[in-house]
Structure 1
Amino acid sequence: MKFKLLLVSLSAALASHAALAETHAHWSYQGKTDAAHWSELDEGYATCKLGKHQSPINIETRRARRADLQPIDFAYAQSAAEVVNNGHTIQVNLPEGGKVGIDGQPYQLLQFHFHTPSEEKINGKAYPLVAHMVHKNAEGKLAVVAVLFKQGSENRALKPVFAAMPTAEGEKAALGNGFDAAALLPVNHGYYAYTGSLTTPPCSEEVTWRVLKTPVEVSSAQLAAFKKLYPMNARPVQPLNDRSVEASR
């Protein structure tokens, strides 16, 4: 009996150790764990420093190559929605949020989340807020569509999301009526295209990026509500290096 208990205790200890080994170091946007130090915090974050195709970037419109790019085929759908405070931002999980078609490839919408100010800049200018719509295809590759927000009228689509924002890290809230991500999109779907990375650790590369040219509006009160939780959660822009940016016509 004692031997069995010893085995159980040993197994539990090993499982606990394994779980700890799989965790990654805490990171943030300020102080000693900010973006300048991410690569020093965990060996799994090395790409944040060593990667040559990192995001976000500053998009210089006069240098973006105009091209006959395929339109983004948005096929979003009303979905159950869970609003999560993950300790770095407010994220909305959409288990049945629909798809987009990018260059003829279908990508499933997983979630969208916010950064303030916008991580990507246009001609050196950051917008007050950006939503990153994160998608994955059948091969596990990621595509992010960025929707920029300028200050203006209240954003009706975001009203239920911001009303449900949990104030504490780890808290979640379900949206009773679900959410249709199509409501976040501007009428004009023209975009800038480039290949980049995740903008948070581990900064994995080979992410397809589409930054919509036309911003939508968000009110000062909505912006203040988000900033009350996250005053600044944007990674600085990264070098373009050997990449080019294309602009849809």
Structure 2
Amino acid sequence: MPKKKVITCIVTIAASCVLVLGACSSEDSTSKTKDTKTTQTTTKKTTEKTTLDWSYQGDTDPSHWGSIKKEYKISDTGKKQSPINIDTKKVKEDKTKATIEYKYQPTMFKVTRKDQTIQAIAQSAKGRQDSKVKVAGKEYVLKEINIHTPSEHQLDGKDFVAELQLKHVSSDNKTLIISVFVNQGEENQAIADIPSIVAKSKNGETTAMKQAVSTLGIIPSDDNKVFAYEGSFTTPATNEGVTWMVYETPITMSKQQLQDLKTKLNDNNRPVQALNNRQVMSN
């Protein structure tokens, strides 16, 4: 992969992804005759037990998140919610306010599936520094990767096949998420065995990766445009205070890699939210 240079983009840090696989059942009806009486017996096939109190479908879908419990109310009342549609014609260019410097290392992850969400949690390795980025003089450590199919953010109203969201946290607990769109194309070797782990995953269980993710390899080339804005997490409680940086140009994954992800994660995207008075910036 090409060596990443310092990427200039805009970041404003303000007041910081993962979801329910709807339970389904099917019925098998068998007839049993006993003492000339016919009894109809229905057997329900069990499915994975859900682990979250919210989901992407049914009575706990995104339109209901704010009313599930008081801790989620900001999903309805917040003014800086994510994701958003990025209208490139209304983006303000300003190259002076922030920079991103990548200090990424090949990183091992443990992958946990909860319903229709995946949390790939970065694992520290003895003798090797954590993957980090520096933004406006503040250092953030890569904590996890979340995956959505299709993408949550839109670009000029366009969805992408998938979206990788790389969550970083600073020493003062500020959250920065770098988002990368994905389209179908060449196989992505940098993502390692995450797709196959997702395809085989059982709900609520954690699997250790066998291969390290080339974290720098899943970031688009260093001359790529980045859009930055103030937003929120995209899953309950959707708390605000998250700085988002969204790359314009997507990376690719193979048809098989994307199919592996869709096996358990399909349609796990929150709809775009109102921009309200926010300004999207770019480098």
TM-score normalised to the size of structure 1?
0.86
**Is contact 1:71–1:190 with CA below 8 Å preserved after alignment?**
no
Residue type at the aligned position of 1:246: M
- Is 1:53 paired with 2:86? no
Alpha-carbon distance between aligned partners in 1 of 2:140 and 2:201, rounded to the nearest angstrom: 31
Q: Distance in 2 between matches of 1:177 and 1:216?
A: 20
Unaligned runs of 5+ in 2: 1-50, 125-129
C-alpha deviation, 1:74, in angstroms: 1.1
Cα deviation code 1:127-155 (max 9, x no counterpart): 01000000111111111000111111111
**SS in structure 2 opposite 1:107?**
strand
1:184 counterpart = 2:218: yes
* Equivalent runs, 1:2-151 vs 2, <5 Å: 26-69=53-96, 70-96=98-124, 97-151=130-184
1:79 Cα deviation (Å)? Answer: 2.7
Q: Secondary structure at the match of 1:164?
A: helix
> Is the 2:195–2:258 contact (alpha carbons within 8 Å) kept by the matching residues of 1?
no
Residue in 2 that maps onto 1:15:
none
Aligned to 1:132, what secondary structure does the other structure show? strand
Aligned residues: 225
Which residue identity does 2:73 align to in structure 1? A
The answer to whether the 8 A contact 2:196-2:257 is kept is: no
Cα shift at 1:25: 6.6
Equivalent residue for 1:198, pick from 233, 242, 249:
233
Superposition deviation, residue 173 in structure 1: 1.4
1:161 aligns with 2:194: yes
Q: CA RMSD in A?
A: 1.6
Q: Percent identity?
A: 34
Q: Which structure has the highest helix share of the two?
A: 1
- Within 1, Cα distance between the matches of 2:105 and 2:259? 29
CA contact (8 A) 1:45 1:203 kept: yes
